[in-house]
A = this chain, B = another copy of it.
């Protein structure tokens, strides 16, 4: 495992892409790129047979995905018991317009990750994980802000999930229509979608004349 570029994860029964398997991808680099571009993951877990899906921020360091929150969070209290977790990150890249209603689709990149979470107790790893959250969402931000103090660190639970049992699913390109439909006088193609940042809104309590840094004014995903 000298280089992450050449690594392919072994598909398991849970991660094997069963519907449209040609869209499945087990390459670690592809999986990490999707995780790094996303901002929110969806955490699925079970309490008394009932599924819950909760959106939350995350960070990645190497082959670990970190989530965090309050010790009062039901999600974190449940996850730290070592229950099975399913984490999904979805990036929507476009709407695919076919000539028939049936063949409409979306271009997307998604990752599904299975595993069990581990509570991060090591203070160094915990701080590294919190730095990873901030760097993941706004690269460069960590250096400019007040670091967590002892009380804040104690009031934050950090959990790690191994990125080992995971798969990506990707759709790209235009529509695939039925042969007989290509002659229809219907526009077909792709509407590309992306997330953009609008001009930053300074906090009203920003009394000092502080210009927004480059990573704010030039923010992009």
**A contact residues vs B (CB 8 Å cutoff):** 14, 18-19, 39-40, 42-46, 49-55, 57, 69-70, 72-74, 84-88, 90, 92, 95, 97-102, 104, 106, 108, 110, 112, 114, 130-131, 133-134, 137-138, 141-142, 144-149, 152, 156, 174-175, 177, 181-182, 184-208, 210-213, 216, 219
Using known A-B contacts A97-B138, A187-B211, determine if residue A203 contacts B216 with beta carbons closer than 8 Å. Answer: no
Q: Is the CB of B192 within 8 A of A208?
A: no
Using known A-B contacts A101-B130, A191-B219, determine if residue A90 contacts B210 with beta carbons closer than 8 Å. Answer: no
Q: Is the CB of B202 within 8 A of A189?
A: yes
Q: Which residue of B is nearest A192, CB measured?
A: B198
New A-B pairs, 16, CB < 8 Å, besides A100-B145, A145-B186 = A39-B92, A40-B106, A42-B55, A50-B84, A101-B142, A102-B146, A102-B148, A144-B187, A187-B211, A187-B212, A187-B213, A190-B201, A190-B203, A192-B199, A193-B196, A195-B195
Partner of A204, one of B134, B174, B184: B174
What separation, in Å, do the CA atoms of A181 and B146 have in the docked complex? 8
Contacts of A106 in B (CB 8 A): 39-40, 57, 137
Contacts of A174 in B (CB 8 A): 201, 203-205
